[in-house]
A and B are shown apart, each in its own frame.
Chain A
Amino acid sequence: GQSLEQPSEVTAVEGAIVQINCTYQTSGFYGLSWYQQHDGGAPTFLSYNALDGLEETGRFSSFLSRSDSYGYLLLQELQMKDSASYFCAVRDPTGGFKTIFGAGTRLFVKA
């Protein structure tokens, strides 16, 4: 089976940098995705890592270490609007389309 672990909550101040970690246990692995979800809204795709290393997209970066079964999402220059839930996700290792989400990390950005 697959499982993902991420912290339930993180609090940071505006302008700061925050890192949201995700560790996974899967019988196979295709890659790690990250989604952002504001209250009452839909998940929005942020980033995807299939290979080790850092992927940068504007203020957001995502990192993957397959040997450590670990990844993180890095948010820089935090803004109030970044307050949301962040989910890591993996696809079913059998090659299907079933997607497993972590429980989500609630980020609170304070002024």
Chain B
Amino acid sequence: AAGVIQSPRHLIKEKRETATLKCYPIPRHDTVYWYQQGPGQDPQFLISFYEKMQSDKGSIPDRFSAQQFSDYHSELNMSSLELGDSALYFCASSLGAPRDTQYFGPGTRLTVL
């Protein structure tokens, strides 16, 4: 069965650079979520999209933005990167109810030097 695809899997950036993470949800899933997970931490909700419209925002810095495109893939854009942005970034998708069943992608490991 198709899973959530994320690219790139690893990304190394310098401080103050920008980064774009991509997510391809499971086909026909209508909701996409983005999470940030630091070492030893729980996943922190950043933002979600339902049917390509932003639905909820969590602890997403103003330096970050995200969107979902007509083909349902989503991109997380991160600017003015800081050392503290180094983390695993997960995308997840879900369909219908209950939306508590989320399928996570393999994640993008971002390292900011």
List residues of chain A with CB under 8 Å of any chain B CB: 30-31, 33, 41-45, 48, 50, 87, 89, 91-92, 96-104
B41: which A residues are within 8 A, CB to CB?
103
In the complex formed, the residue of B with least CB distance to A97 is B48
Smallest CB-CB A-B distances: 6 pairs: A101-B42, A42-B104, A97-B48, A96-B56, A98-B56, A33-B100
B31: which A residues are within 8 A, CB to CB?
97
- Majority DSSP secondary structure for residues of A touching B: loop
B82-102 contacts to A, CB under 8 A, are 90, 92, 98-102
Whether A91 and B99, one on each chain, are in contact in the complex, defined by CB atoms closer than 8 angstroms, is: yes
Could you jot down 26 A-B contacts, CB within 8 Å?
A30-B100, A31-B98, A31-B100, A41-B106, A42-B90, A42-B106, A45-B101, A45-B102, A45-B103, A48-B98, A87-B43, A89-B100, A91-B99, A96-B55, A97-B33, A97-B50, A97-B56, A97-B99, A98-B58, A99-B45, A101-B42, A101-B43, A102-B42, A103-B41, A103-B42, A104-B42
Apart from A33-B101, A98-B48, list 8 A-B contacts with CB within 8 A.
A30-B98, A41-B106, A43-B90, A44-B104, A45-B104, A97-B48, A97-B99, A101-B43
Does B107 belong to the interface (CB within 8 Å)? yes
List residues of chain B with CB under 8 Å of any chain A CB: 31, 33, 41-45, 48, 50, 55-58, 90, 92, 98-107
Expressed in whole angstroms, the Cα–Cα distance for A48 and B98 within the complex equals: 9
Expressed in whole angstroms, the Cα–Cα distance for A96 and B33 within the complex equals: 12
A31: which B residues are within 8 A, CB to CB?
98, 100
In the complex formed, the residue of B with least CB distance to A100 is B45
In the complex formed, the residue of B with least CB distance to A46 is B101
Expressed in whole angstroms, the Cα–Cα distance for A30 and B103 within the complex equals: 18
Expressed in whole angstroms, the Cα–Cα distance for A105 and B91 within the complex equals: 22
Q: Which of A30, A43, A100, A104 contacts B104 (CB 8 A)?
A: A43
